[in-house]
Structure 1
Amino acid sequence: MRLRVLQHVPFEGPAHIGAWANRRGHALAISHLYAGDPPPMLDDFDGLVVMGGPMGVHDEAEHSWLSAEKTCIENAIAAGRPLIGVCLGAQLIAQALGAKVTRNAEREIGWLPIELMHDALAEPCCSGLPARFDAFHWHGDRFDIPAGALHLARSPACDSQAFLYQGRVLGLQCHLESVPSSIAALCEHCADELSPGLFVQTAAEMRTAPPAAFEQIHAVLEQLLDAVVSRGVPT
C-alpha cells in the first residue's frame, strides 16, 4: 500500500509509523507541507497519515497550507481511503468529520495513563489490547468524538483520546508513534510549553522512559494500524 504522510513541522515525522510501514512492505512518502509541498492528489496515495504539530486547526491565517490540507483529508475520507491522524492530525480529521476542536481544560504532556472505553474492548481492532496503559502525550487542544465514530479511549486529562470511524479512519490524540529521538525533539523545539501543570511532566521525566514503555505503545499502535489499513479501499 502507498502511504502518504502529511508533516507539519520538521521535528514531528512518522517516527515508529515509518518502521511499521517498512516491515509491512508499505511504501511511505512524506509531503512536507511546512516547506511548501502541496497536499497530494488522490491518485498519489492509497492511505493517508496526518501527523502532529504545534499549530491548531483554526490557524489558516498563519499557515496557509492548512486549507488545502483540509480539502485533501475530506477527499480521502469521501474516497474510502484509510486515514491515521496523530494529535493535530486527529483533530484535523475530526473536524473534517464535523466534530468540534477546542482547547482542552489542561495541557497534557508526558507519559500519562489512558484507558480503553468499554465499547472499544468489543471492537476487533482492540482485541487483546491492555485496558489501561501509559501513552505519550503532548497537546493543549482536543477534539470531540465525531458523529458515527467509536470512542476508543480516554484519559484523566482528556476524555477524547482516540476514535475509529467506519473501521478505516483512526484518530489518536496521544502519540503512540513516539520514539526517544522524537520525544527529545519535542522537548527541544516546544520547551516553552513545559511550564508546570497538573498533567505536565518535565523534560527529564519524559526522556528517561524505559524501553518497555516504547515497546508497549508500539505494539498497540501496530495492531491499530494493521486493522485500519486492512479496511481501506485499494486503488
Structure 2
Amino acid sequence: MTRTCLALQHLSFEDLGSLAPVLLSMGFDIVYRHAGVDDLSSEHAQAEWREADLVVVLGGPIGVYEAGRYPFIPDELARITERLESGKPLIGICLGAQLMAAANGQKVYPGPAKEIGYKPLKLTTAGHDSPLQALLDCGYEVLHWHGDTFDLPEGAKLLASTDLVTNQAFSMGPRVLGLQCHLEVVPDNMERWLIGHTAELTAAGIDVHQLRSDNLRVGEALLHCAQRTWLNWLKMAFAH
C-alpha cells in the first residue's frame, strides 16, 4: 500500500532533502504544500492533513509570534494541533518544531543569539536511546540555523541540547519528532542556503566561507548519518 508524506514548505530551497530518498525507498509518495500560498484553512487542506500518513513541517526565517505579519500562521497551528491530537506521525524541523511547541501551548521566543553553523549535539539519555544515536558516526555534528527557541512541550522527552540552546530535539511518543537542527540539508544544496539567507548571515556576522568549508568537511558524513536517523525513526513511527 502506498503511503503519502505531506511536506509543508516556507521556502522553496528548504525541502525534505536527505529525508526524501528514504521516504521514496519505503514507498511513500511526496506532496509539497506551501505556507502563505496554499490555503491551509480550506476543507481540502484539512482533509489532506488528516489523511496523510506522515506530515513534515519544514523550516523558514519567520517567527511563530509573527502572526500579525504572516496571517497564515494560525492556520498552520490549527492543522498541527489537529495532527497532534490524531496521534499520526509528524516531524517538525526548525520553524516546524517551534510551531509544534506553540501548538502545545508553549512559548516561542528569540534565543540568546543566532545559532548558525555546524556544531555537535549533546544527546540526553533519552536521545541516546532514540534514532538520533545514528548520528554517532559523524560525532553528532549537525547544521544549526535558527534564532528562536521554545519551551519544551508538556510530556515531551528532551533528546538533545547545545551549549547555547537547551531544547534542540524532542519526541512526544514514537510518532512525533521535533528538531531545531537541520538534518535534512544535503551538501549539494548548501549554496542555495547561503544565497537565500544572505541578509540574515550578514546581519549576524556569520562567516560564509567557514560555513562552506564546514559543509565540505562534514556534509557527506552527516548525509549518511541523517539518512540512517530518518530510516530508524520511520521504522519506529510506522511499527505501531
Shorter-normalised TM range: 0.7 to 0.9
Q: 2:16 corresponds to which residue?
A: 14
Shift of 1:174: 0.5
**1:52 match: secondary structure:** coil
> How far 1:129 sits from its partner (Å)?
4.3
In the TM superposition, structure 1's runs of 4+ consecutive aligned residues that sit over 6 Å from their partners are: none
RMSD over aligned Cα, in angstroms? 2.4
Which residue number in structure 2 is paired with residue 180 of structure 1? 187
Selected match of 2:167 from 160, 167, 178: 160
Output the TM-score relative to the length of structure 1.
Answer: 0.87
Structure 1 residue 47: deviation in Å?
Answer: 1.0
Please identify which structure carries the higher helix content.
2
Letter of the structure 1 residue corresponding to residue 127 of structure 2: A
Cα pair 2:134 2:226 within 8 Å, conserved: no
Amino acid paired to 2:221: Q
The residue number in structure 2 matching 1:111 is 118
Structure 1: gaps of 5 or more residues: none
Return the alpha-carbon distance in structure 2 between the equivalents of residues 80 and 233 of structure 1: 12
State the alpha-carbon separation in 2 of the partners of residues 154 and 23 from structure 1.
30
Q: Which amino acid aligns with 1:191?
A: T
In the alignment, is the contact (CA less than 8 A) between 2:145 and 2:181 conserved in 1?
yes
Identity of aligned residues (%): 31
| TM-score where L is the length of structure 2 | 0.85
Unmatched 5+ stretches in structure 2: none
Q: Which amino acid aligns with 1:23?
A: S
- The Cα of 1:124 is off from its aligned counterpart by 4.5
Note closer, same or farther for the CA distance 1:101–1:25 as it changes in structure 2 (3 Å cut): same
Closer, same or farther: CA 181–218 of 1 in aligned 2, 3 Å: closer
Aligned residues: 231
Partner of 1:140: 147
2:22 maps to a residue whose letter is W
**Which secondary structure state, in structure 2, belongs to the residue aligned with residue 175 of structure 1?**
coil
Match of residue 151 from structure 1: 158
Measured in 2, the distance between the counterparts of 1:184 and 1:37 equals 30
SS for the counterpart of 2:21 is helix
Q: Larger deviation: 94-103 or 31-40? A: 31-40
Give 1:229 shift: 3.2
Letter in 1 for 2:197: C
Secondary structure in 1 matching 2:193 = helix
